[in-house]
Amino acid sequence: MNKFQYYTGGIKATIPKGYVSLTSFLSKIRNPNPATLVLLGSISDASRVGDKKTKTLLKNKLPFFTPSVVVKDGKPRRYENIASFTGLAQIDFDGFDNIDQANDCKHWLFEQNTEVICAYLSPSRLGVKALVLIPVCNEVEEFQDYYRGLTKKYRDDFHIKQFDTAPQNAILPLFYAHDKDVLIRDNAVAFVDKVLKPVYVPSEVVMNVESDKPRIDILVNKFFERCHNIVDNGHPQFRSACIMLGSLVPHYVNEIDALAYTESAIRSNGYMISKHPFETYYKTAKWAIYVGMKSPYTL
């Protein structure tokens, strides 16, 4: 699959406007139109001075793409509407201190990892975006197996703390960016190292019997129940629920799965989505899970 869909009209736009080829996508990363170039410059300026609110508002004006999947024509960007997978996965490194660090990561990523099709600076210029080649998947779970493999490689084995696990969501938007020095590989080798979703196994230290599993299931369901019941004052309630969920990591719940739970909870709550962009809540979720992990829950 050498084409994927693009969207315009802000992050709340859910119906794709059309298709773009990988070649055209990379050409526009290298040479955006003048208006987009001005917008990207403003995003970079806001990021440099730490103005996250302005950065988010400006970023939501950018076109975005879903390079990993194609959704059914005329249908919203949701898991249930995925028609096919493209054999592409996006990876994201974010939060470098300066552009030199980001550039160093970009070149290392491209030069040392043959699955990388392209690597370029993010809209803020303080991160790196890349598309990697994976086998064409048949279902979401298979895609996530490959993404867990990518997470193991880049975050766990290489210890790159800036690696962001959010793109394990196959339909996560990839925003437009500009990098005239985008690095492109024509002969990428598919990444094939899956990491299967962990089967629940009681911790030898914390849990001794399989019969404790239902108690963990109850706590996870409690997280979803708390999120479902949020109808006002959403941020404090969501933050508290995510801290509780984080306390189950790593003894009882895999961190990647915990983040997937938070994403599902955000997208299924109409009140929260109507109040703030998804990314706002997701950043809160990641922070809260890490806070919860510092005070692990023990049965």
Write down the pLDDT at residue 158: 86
Write down the pLDDT at residue 205: 39
* Cβ–Cβ < 8 Å for 134, 192: yes
Is there a single domain that holds both residue 242 and residue 173?
no
Write down the pLDDT at residue 212: 62
Is there a single domain that holds both residue 132 and residue 245?
no
CA distance 258 to 296: 14
Strands in the chain per DSSP E:
3-7, 18-21, 64-66, 69-71, 82-85, 88-94, 116-121, 127-133, 163-164, 174-175, 183-184
Share of the chain above pLDDT 90, in %: 42
CA distance 26 to 117: 10
Is there a single domain that holds both residue 130 and residue 248?
no
Q: Would 180 be classed as within a structural domain?
A: yes
Count of domains in the chain? Answer: 2
- For range 49-70, the mean pLDDT: 86
Where among 184, 201, 220 does a domain terminate?
Answer: 184
Q: Would 16 be classed as within a structural domain?
A: yes
Residue at 166: amino acid letter: A
Q: Would 15 be classed as within a structural domain?
A: yes
Is there a single domain that holds both residue 132 and residue 87?
yes
Q: What is the DSSP string of 55-103?
A: HHHHHTTS-EEETTEEEPTT--SSGGGEEEE-SEEEEEEE--SSHHHHH
Say if residue 20's pLDDT is above 90. yes
Where among 184, 218, 236 does a domain terminate?
Answer: 184
Write down the pLDDT at residue 1: 54
Mean per-residue pLDDT of the chain: 87
Is there a single domain that holds both residue 90 and residue 137?
yes
Which residues fall within 8 angstroms of residue 175, CB to CB, at 6 or more apart? 59, 62, 63, 64, 65, 123
Write down the pLDDT at residue 235: 86
Is there a single domain that holds both residue 84 and residue 179?
yes
Q: Would 77 be classed as within a structural domain?
A: yes
CA distance 37 to 123: 10
Is there a single domain that holds both residue 53 and residue 180?
yes
Q: Would 205 be classed as within a structural domain?
A: no
* Cβ–Cβ < 8 Å for 28, 176: yes
Q: Would 196 be classed as within a structural domain?
A: no
pLDDT per residue as tens digits for the range 254-276: 888 888 889 888 888 878 888 88
Say if residue 22's pLDDT is above 90. yes
Q: Would 190 be classed as within a structural domain?
A: no
pLDDT per residue as tens digits for the range 137-187: 999 889 989 999 999 899 888 888 889 888 888 988 898 889 999 999 999
Q: Would 51 be classed as within a structural domain?
A: yes
Report the Cα 39 to chain-centroid distance in Å: 23
Q: How confident is the model at residue 12 (pLDDT cuts 50, 70, 90)?
A: confident
Is there a single domain that holds both residue 112 and residue 164?
yes
Write down the pLDDT at residue 198: 62
Give the three-class secondary structure for 8. Answer: coil
The sign of the CA dihedral 126, 140, 132, 199 is positive
Is there a single domain that holds both residue 171 and residue 222?
no
> Residue 279's domain spans which residues?
210-293
- For range 121-136, the mean pLDDT: 94
Burial 74-108 (b: 16+ CB within 10 A, else e): eeebeeebbeebbbbbbbbbeebeebebbbebbee
Write down the pLDDT at residue 7: 92
Q: By CB neighbour count within 10 A (0-12 exposed, 13-18 middle, 19+ buried), where does 53 fall?
A: exposed
Write down the pLDDT at residue 191: 97
The pairing of beta strand 64-66 with beta strand 174-175: antiparallel
Say if residue 298's pLDDT is above 80. no
Q: How many CA atoms lie within 13 A of 203 on its CB side?
A: 15
Is there a single domain that holds both residue 137 and residue 278?
no
**pLDDT top residue among 228 and 82:** 82
Is there a single domain that holds both residue 228 and residue 101?
no
Say if residue 250's pLDDT is above 80. no
Is there a single domain that holds both residue 135 and residue 42?
yes
- For range 30-48, the mean pLDDT: 87
Where among 184, 218, 253 does a domain terminate?
Answer: 184
pLDDT per residue as tens digits for the range 195-235: 887 654 444 434 444 556 677 788 888 898 888 888 887 88
CA distance 48 to 46: 5
